[in-house]
Structure 1
Amino acid sequence: MRFLSVGWDLEGPGITKADFPNSESFASFDGVLIDPSPLRELWRPYAELGPDGIYRLYPTRDFGLSRALLNLFHLRQKELEDLLFRAGGVLVVRVRPPEEGVLVEGNPPRRLDIYSFLPKASLVSGPYHLSLPQGLRFLPRRGQDLLLSDPTHPLAPYLERFSRHGYEAVLTTVFGVPLSAFGTVLAQNRVGDPLALDLPVGLGRIVFLPSFAGQEAKEAGELLRVGLSALLSQPLPEAAPEWLEKYLLPGEEEIKKVEEELAREKERLNRKEQELQEARKDLDILKAILFPRSRMALLNGAMAALSRLGFSIKPGLQPMEFFAESPEENFYVRVSFSPFSPVGPEEHRALLLSLDRLRNEERKEVKGLLLCLSQPELEPHRRGPQWQEAVERASLDHRFVLASSFTLFQAVAKALSGADPKALRKSLAQAEGPWSPRF
């Protein structure tokens, strides 16, 4: 199979490299891979930049450049239409951020941009309609959060291999029509923006791929060649007519039944996987009281842990504080995180201020609880003191409870193992100063 790489640095057997104006006919290849980024250089050095920030060409004084550009893009567009609608080939487009392009003045004026070579097509899927190329939009958005949507696609190895190189733009449509209605979204980012798309057009397909700047030419060329060869070797076009399904061959019904069973099994496994992920997340939240990602993670872990012990959790007066209420005792909890040294007196003073405010302004009597975490990078048994001596003396003088995050973790582990949460709550309610339950 023969592939043409236009402006895209790819190497490998069967890959011919050329530039946009001087290459052979696009329709004479099995697949065409285009990086549109270099196309701006066809007009940028010669166009005039106006006060409104738009590049313009004036046919009356550009020595025929604008006419040559319009003819060139029209020619390449027709060649790509022949490639897709008549030859059943593949067009691969490297998705780059769009630019203003150039405005060719005239009556009417014509606009060219780096995507003006895309073939014209009208796609219909149920209630949705998509016109190419004007219906597509390429939005500048950079990131490395590429998530594979179809791991079985022949181009999935290419996407997985170079995902760390990141993307520069995402795909969307003018009227918000879902692209998944017309083709297969191969990859998306964390918020669901399509990054890679396999779009059937005519007898062929257009594949939009992330830019993956800095990829190695030889390895990228080989992965693309293998993936595109697999796509081109499929005997039926992706957009086959509906009447073809009426002509069944012996054994085809059995294959369809097995495919349906596999689809149901995949759906069941996906649901099970989601359930396991939720269960794992609940446990990870609890483990965050040992090694949190941030202060908020420690706070959420502390609230989840006390909730597992049977406390009712309510927001507190300050960001790192909350109420923990139970029949045995009502606590006002402050979570203290000191990564490198024991928790100091400023934390217990903040707790006492909140307790005084509750007592004087809201007439609410609750018991204080200062939950401390220090040196989280060390294993709990190797950590030093979690609070300073002044904090411990203050806890005894002011009769609030002092607890380490590891002690709370042990209590939750006991409760999850079947221990009576009421006994653990009672132990905490009876404590003054450091809490040292017997596990």
Structure 2
Amino acid sequence: MRILTIGYSLPNQIVDNHTILNSPSFTDYDAVFIDPEAITTAVQQLLDGERPFNAQDGRPVVNGATTATQISAADQLTRRSEEARRFLEQGGTLFVIGRPNAVLPGVVGFEGFDRYSWLPAPKGASWNPPHIRAGEGKTVRIADDRHPLSPVLREHRRHLSYRAVLDPAIGTRGHEGHVIATGGSNMPIAAEFPVLAGRVVVTPMFATVTGTARTKLAQSLVDAMTEVASGAVSEDAPGWSRTHALPGSEQIEAELEEAAEAESAAASRAAAVRERLNALTSHRRLLWATGPAFATAVEEALALLGLNATDADSGLAVTEGEHTALVEVESSREDVAEWPYVRLQRRLERHLLEESEQLRGIIVANGKRNITPSARRGQLTEALRIACENYGYALVTGETLFALVQRALGTDAEGATPFEAAGRRILFGRGLVTTEQAVGEAEEESDASIF
């Protein structure tokens, strides 16, 4: 057994480690292991003059024409494509690390060269999207425990990640691919394909490890490639085999089917419960989130208080009855300064000029957002508080809005509730509105005029 690796060296007696530009012929080996990224990296180094390469006969590889004293990079790469085809036609086994394809221009005589130019594709597929495309992650789930690669993936899981995902259709009827492992969202990241008379096994990416760990990984991969090359690959049982009953098999199959249905039903219930929980706990974003997440949380909280979003303005705006207010939000690790007031003032003035309509204003501010609310001091600058008082804008903290959401969700009252009244108090607020003021526990003189 002899193995060739390109781009991912394996310290093992039966392995020869080379680059795409200086390796012996693929057909000299029983199995080949290649990282496609190393192919374009080596060629780029040649084009940039960063590293010299010599062919097996000693001639330097150049980005030019082949002569008696040098060999063209394009000729070398074309030869690799021919070797890979002959290798697979002879029943060879080729392991390739899954990478998204990438074109590398500039190779004289080989325009359109890419990471997979050398590799024949499975029947009806290609090494381009949608059959293989970029995807990143570290989740590895074994889909076929019987495949020789699976023990390698399981034993060295902490050294694995993936940079490409395969088309999920490869595991369905009518497709010849066999899924070995999946990543996030059950997207295939390792699979085996029949190509010509040989086999191509796509693997996740193995990290660069050293010492004993690298020796163990090398031996594990050598063992897996040896098994695949020798034909010790699991096959799915043909459909007719199920007609040959074994004592107790039908009962166990029925139990398995029942358990699978129960598992599916439980998963559906869990998904529904998780969705409800996420919808509820998303209100906590009022205390810590920033940007669009905080703005969405504010919009949902105001809706609970009877202030529904409206399209009166390009930004966030809410309405209650005939009254409309523009809303500005800001969440910061520091005290919230006067910038939301400045933005609100500009929006109100623009609306007045364009629509001849004077609207109200609400600012929701969440200062010191990375500190637990009970330990926060201030949150707002004095300049912001005074500006809101002087110009008649309501100023509410994220903490106050969260407290109102807690109370609103805890009431069983139907129709108009005290918390819709809290929404009106915010709508007509002037300056800082506390939780007590919003729920009417600290009445303001003007409170009666809004009901």
Q: 1:61-110 deviations in whole A, cap 9, x for unaligned?
A: 979999999888656655545556xxxxx6421235556699999xxx9x
The yes-or-no answer on 1:323 pairing with 2:326 is no
- TM-score after normalising by structure 1: 0.69
Q: Which SS does the other structure have where 1:396 is aligned?
A: helix
Q: Look up the match of 1:299.
A: 295
Q: Taking structure 1 as reference, are residues 3 and 411 closer, same or farther at Cα in structure 2, changes over 3 Å only?
A: farther
Q: Taking structure 1 as reference, are residues 180 and 349 closer, same or farther at Cα in structure 2, changes over 3 Å only?
A: same
Question: Matches of 2:180 and 2:233 in 1, distance apart?
Answer: 20
Question: Cα offset for 1:437?
Answer: 2.6
Question: Cα offset for 1:224?
Answer: 4.2
Question: How is 1:376-415 mapped onto 2 (pairs within 5 angstroms)?
Answer: 376-415=369-408
Q: Look up the match of 1:288.
A: 285
Contact 1:158/1:224 (<8 A) preserved:
no
Q: Which SS does the other structure have where 1:290 is aligned?
A: helix
Q: Which SS does the other structure have where 2:417 is aligned?
A: helix
Question: Matches of 2:94 and 2:371 in 1, distance apart?
Answer: 54
Question: How is 1:139-150 mapped onto 2 (pairs within 5 angstroms)?
Answer: 144-148=136-140, 150=142
Question: How is 1:197-276 mapped onto 2 (pairs within 5 angstroms)?
Answer: 197-199=191-193, 206-212=200-206, 214-216=208-210, 217-218=214-215, 220-221=217-218, 224=221, 237-238=234-235, 241-276=238-273
Q: Taking structure 1 as reference, are residues 18 and 366 closer, same or farther at Cα in structure 2, changes over 3 Å only?
A: closer
Contact 1:98/1:138 (<8 A) preserved:
no
Q: Taking structure 1 as reference, are residues 18 and 145 closer, same or farther at Cα in structure 2, changes over 3 Å only?
A: closer
Question: Matches of 1:272 and 1:227 in 2, distance apart?
Answer: 40
After TM superposition, the structure 1 stretch with the greater mean CA deviation from structure 2, 424-433 or 140-149, is 140-149
User: Which amino acid letter does the alignment assign opposite residue 209 of structure 1?
Assistant: T
User: Which amino acid letter does the alignment assign opposite residue 411 of structure 1?
Assistant: L
Larger relative strand fraction: 1
Question: Matches of 1:65 and 1:336 in 2, distance apart?
Answer: 57
Question: Matches of 1:251 and 1:206 in 2, distance apart?
Answer: 38
Question: Matches of 1:63 and 1:387 in 2, distance apart?
Answer: 71
Contact 1:11/1:218 (<8 A) preserved:
yes
Q: 1:258-284 deviations in whole A, cap 9, x for unaligned?
A: 443344344334434433443344245
Q: Taking structure 1 as reference, are residues 393 and 289 closer, same or farther at Cα in structure 2, changes over 3 Å only?
A: same
Q: Look up the match of 1:137.
A: 128
Q: Which SS does the other structure have where 2:33 is aligned?
A: strand
Unpaired runs of at least 5, structure 1: 51-55, 85-89, 123-128
Question: How is 1:172-191 mapped onto 2 (pairs within 5 angstroms)?
Answer: 178-181=169-172, 182=175, 183=177, 184=179, 186-187=181-182
Residue 437 (structure 1) aligned to one of 432, 435, 438: 435
Q: 1:222-261 deviations in whole A, cap 9, x for unaligned?
A: 6646877998999874365555454454444344434433
Q: Taking structure 1 as reference, are residues 252 and 382 closer, same or farther at Cα in structure 2, changes over 3 Å only?
A: same
User: Which amino acid letter does the alignment assign opposite residue 316 of structure 2?
Assistant: F
Q: Look up the match of 1:6.
A: 5
Q: Look up the match of 1:337.
A: 331
Q: Taking structure 1 as reference, are residues 342 and 104 closer, same or farther at Cα in structure 2, changes over 3 Å only?
A: closer
Question: Matches of 1:231 and 1:392 in 2, distance apart?
Answer: 72
User: Which amino acid letter does the alignment assign opposite residue 292 of structure 2?
Assistant: M
Question: Matches of 2:224 and 2:306 in 1, distance apart?
Answer: 55
Q: Taking structure 1 as reference, are residues 256 and 62 closer, same or farther at Cα in structure 2, changes over 3 Å only?
A: farther
Q: 1:170-189 deviations in whole A, cap 9, x for unaligned?
A: 657xxxx9434433273457
- The count of residues paired between Structure 1 and Structure 2 equals 399
Question: Matches of 1:101 and 1:355 in 2, distance apart?
Answer: 54
Contact 1:146/1:187 (<8 A) preserved:
no
Q: Which SS does the other structure have where 2:208 is aligned?
A: coil
Question: Matches of 1:399 and 1:64 in 2, distance apart?
Answer: 77
Q: Which SS does the other structure have where 2:287 is aligned?
A: coil
Question: Matches of 1:203 and 1:76 in 2, distance apart?
Answer: 12
CA RMSD across the alignment: 4.9
After TM superposition, the structure 1 stretch with the greater mean CA deviation from structure 2, 259-268 or 60-69, is 60-69
Question: Cα offset for 1:296?
Answer: 1.4
Question: Cα offset for 1:376?
Answer: 0.7
Contact 1:94/1:211 (<8 A) preserved:
yes
Contact 1:285/1:304 (<8 A) preserved:
no
Question: Matches of 2:350 and 2:80 in 1, distance apart?
Answer: 77
Question: Matches of 2:317 and 2:403 in 1, distance apart?
Answer: 21
Question: Matches of 1:393 and 1:74 in 2, distance apart?
Answer: 78
Question: How is 1:150-189 mapped onto 2 (pairs within 5 angstroms)?
Answer: 150=142, 153=145, 154=150, 156-157=153-154, 160-163=157-160, 167=163, 178-181=169-172, 182=175, 183=177, 184=179, 186-187=181-182
Q: Taking structure 1 as reference, are residues 157 and 237 closer, same or farther at Cα in structure 2, changes over 3 Å only?
A: closer
Unpaired runs of at least 5, structure 2: 44-52, 440-451
User: Which amino acid letter does the alignment assign opposite residue 302 of structure 2?
Assistant: L
After TM superposition, the structure 1 stretch with the greater mean CA deviation from structure 2, 72-81 or 267-276, is 72-81
Q: Taking structure 1 as reference, are residues 65 and 380 closer, same or farther at Cα in structure 2, changes over 3 Å only?
A: closer
Residue 345 (structure 2) aligned to one of 340, 352, 376: 352
